[in-house]
Amino acid sequence: MLLVLSVSLVVAKSKSYYDILGVKKDASEKQIKREYHKLSLKYHPDKNPGDEEAKKTFVEVANAYEVLVDKEKRKIYDQHGEEGLKKQMGGQASNPFDIFSQFGFGGFGGQQQKEDERRGPDVTLDVHATLEDLYNGRIVEVGVKNQVLCPRCRGTGAKDENDVKTCDSCHGKGVKITVHQLGPGFVQQMQSTCEVCGGKGKIVTSTCPHCHGKKIVTGQRIVDVTIEQGMKDGHTIEFENAGDEHPDHAAGHLIFKVVTLPHPIFTRRGDDLTMTQHISLLEALVGFTKTVTHLDGHRVELTRNKVTEHGFVMKLKNEGMPLHTVPSQRGVLEVTFVVDFPPVLTPTQRDAFAKIL
């Protein structure tokens, strides 16, 4: 009876966050991010429309990532489990789409910003990617300097939060309404900026020693930018409200633009790849077998058993770039053969060619 009970408890036990992400308990932050990257792309609802099981898995993966990537939450989880984490952290669940967008994934839906929300200007930066990155996918860590709210005063500009008062002159509105009587039954209303608070609605009676009352400071952080398989040059990856912070309105978006670095062997053309392969005159006449190392390390065999003309193009299906929308499908690899003619021929070689040809 006890044996049956213990087996039932094991079956009923839910998977750990480490099992959900498929990592070991001592996994590094980089390993956790890499596995989250793969799983969240695989199970995203936009890639699995109508699949409730995939949606459920996507949420589980996001929840596991949120905990394990946070040092404090991970420590509590390791010591006290999921229930202990809920008790200590208040049990507030995050939006899995918010976590996904913070990771810098492109091309998916999710939470859209309110159109009427006032926000600052967007910031666009280049993120350099090799052809290997765009073929295999990669998480690129980018250091970003930007304007952030002062951590000491939290954007109030005051030494103490109690030193921020509502303006008595405009009652916190920042503007004043003046009414002028123009005649019997006619009035004119004039709106003007409050001269006491300067239109801010608040009066600060002390100065923060950290930001000197400016409310903002220069910050620096590392942003994980996800380069997805098949992304093209110029593709943009957007982080919502991750630009310069401002105390009076929402931050603008931080946008990364993919800039492809040149490759010594391959050149990209849409979803296809092109390359040049040199062969000798002898190989051009009698045939050859050559191998080329592809962008993910696999070997591509180039074989000809007939005469190969200078400039001949060999097309290999499914050896090009992965399609961004369907990475399992690939474009074409076009190989242009260049025949390296000998600079000179000896009399013996000349006579031999004359006899053969």
CATH number at residue 28: 1.10.287.110
Q: Are residues 191 and 221 in the same domain?
A: no
- Does any domain span residue 73? yes
Pairing relationship of beta strands 299-304 and 288-293 according to DSSP bridges: antiparallel
Whether 7 shows a pLDDT value over 80: the answer reads: no
Q: Taking a C-beta distance cutoff of 8 angstroms, is the pair 119, 251 a contact?
A: yes
Q: For the chain, how long is the longest CA-to-CA vector?
A: 120
Helix (H) or strand (E) holding 191: strand 186-193
Task: Give the per-residue pLDDT at 231.
Answer: 95
Q: Are residues 256 and 134 in the same domain?
A: yes
Q: What is the mean pLDDT of residues 296-320?
A: 96
Give the confidence band of 257 by pLDDT, cuts at 50, 70, 90.
Answer: very high
- Does any domain span residue 242? yes
Task: Give the per-residue pLDDT at 103.
Answer: 55
Q: Are residues 299 and 193 in the same domain?
A: no
Joined tokens for residue 35 = 């596995």
Q: Are residues 236 and 299 in the same domain?
A: no
The residue ranking higher by pLDDT, 129 or 248, is 129
Task: Give the per-residue pLDDT at 283.
Answer: 95
Structure-token match 């507030």, residue found: 92
Sign for the pseudo-dihedral over CA of 26, 30, 32, 38: negative
Q: Are residues 65 and 123 in the same domain?
A: no
Q: Are residues 271 and 298 in the same domain?
A: yes
Tell me the C-alpha distance between 305 and 284, whole Å: 9
Q: What is the mean pLDDT of residues 234-259?
A: 90
Q: Are residues 175 and 291 in the same domain?
A: no
Q: Are residues 28 and 144 in the same domain?
A: no
Specify the number of domains making up the chain.
Answer: 4
Q: What is the DSSP string of 62-118?
A: HHHHHHHTSHHHHHHHHHHHHHHHHHHHTTPPPPHHHHHHHTT--S---PPPPTT--
Dihedrals phi, psi of 344, to nearest 5 degrees: -145, 160
- Does any domain span residue 348? no
Q: Are residues 56 and 84 in the same domain?
A: yes
Dump pLDDT digits (tens) for 65-74.
889 988 888 8
Give the residue numbers spanning the domain of 200: 161-204
Whether 181 shows a pLDDT value over 90: the answer reads: no
Count CA within 13 A, CB hemisphere, residue 320. 22
Task: Give the per-residue pLDDT at 3.
Answer: 43
Give the confidence band of 113 by pLDDT, cuts at 50, 70, 90.
Answer: very low
Query: Which of 69, 75, 46, 74 has its CA nearest to residue 58?
Result: 46
Q: Are residues 105 and 53 in the same domain?
A: yes
- Does any domain span residue 156? no
Residues of the chain with pLDDT > 90: what percent? 34
Q: Are residues 228 and 300 in the same domain?
A: no
Q: Are residues 177 and 305 in the same domain?
A: no
**Buried b / exposed e along 12-25 (16+ C-beta atoms within 10 A):** eeeeebbebbebee
Query: Which of 202, 176, 200 has its CA nearest to residue 189?
Result: 176
Dihedrals phi, psi of 75, to nearest 5 degrees: -65, -45
Tell me the C-alpha distance between 328 and 116, whole Å: 40
Whether 219 shows a pLDDT value over 70: the answer reads: yes
Tell me the C-alpha distance between 25 and 8, whole Å: 24
CATH number at residue 326: 2.60.260.20
Task: Give the per-residue pLDDT at 111.
Answer: 44
